[in-house]
Homo-oligomer: A and B are copies of this chain.
Amino acid sequence: MQTRSEETRAHILKAALRRFANHGYSAASVDEICAEAGVSKGAFYHHFPSKQALFLELLNEWLDTIDAGFEAARKDSVPETLRAFTEMLPGIFAAADGRLPMFMEFWLQASRDETIWQATVAPYQRYQQFFTLLVEQGQAEGSLRAELDAGSAAKAIVGLAVGLLLQGLLTAEADWQKTARVSMEVLLNGLMK
Contacts and interface: CB of A to CB of B under 8 A. Distances in A.
Interface string A156-192: 1011111110110111000000110011011111110
Contact of A162 (B105, B166, B191): B166
A163 B158 contact: yes
A190 B179 contact: no
Interface in A24-72: 24, 26-27
Give the copy number.
Answer: 2
Given A104-B108, A108-B105, A111-B101, A121 B170 contact: yes
A126 interface: no
Interface stretch (A2-10, A73-81, A145-153): A145-153
Contacts of A120: 170
B152 A183 contact: yes
A160 B160 contact: yes
Contacts of A156: 160, 179, 182-183, 186-187
B170 A163 contact: no
Contacts of A186: 148, 153, 156, 187, 190-191
Given A105-B105, A164-B159, A187-B190, A153 B170 contact: no
A99 B15 CA distance: 32
Q: What are the 6 tightest A-B residue pairs by CB atom distance, in nearest-first order?
A: A163-B163, A190-B190, A159-B163, A156-B183, A152-B182, A189-B190
Given A158-B167, A161-B163, 12 more contacts: A22-B112, A24-B112, A105-B108, A153-B183, A155-B182, A156-B182, A160-B160, A160-B183, A162-B166, A163-B164, A163-B166, A189-B191
8 contacts: A101-B111, A104-B104, A105-B108, A125-B171, A152-B178, A155-B183, A159-B179, A163-B164
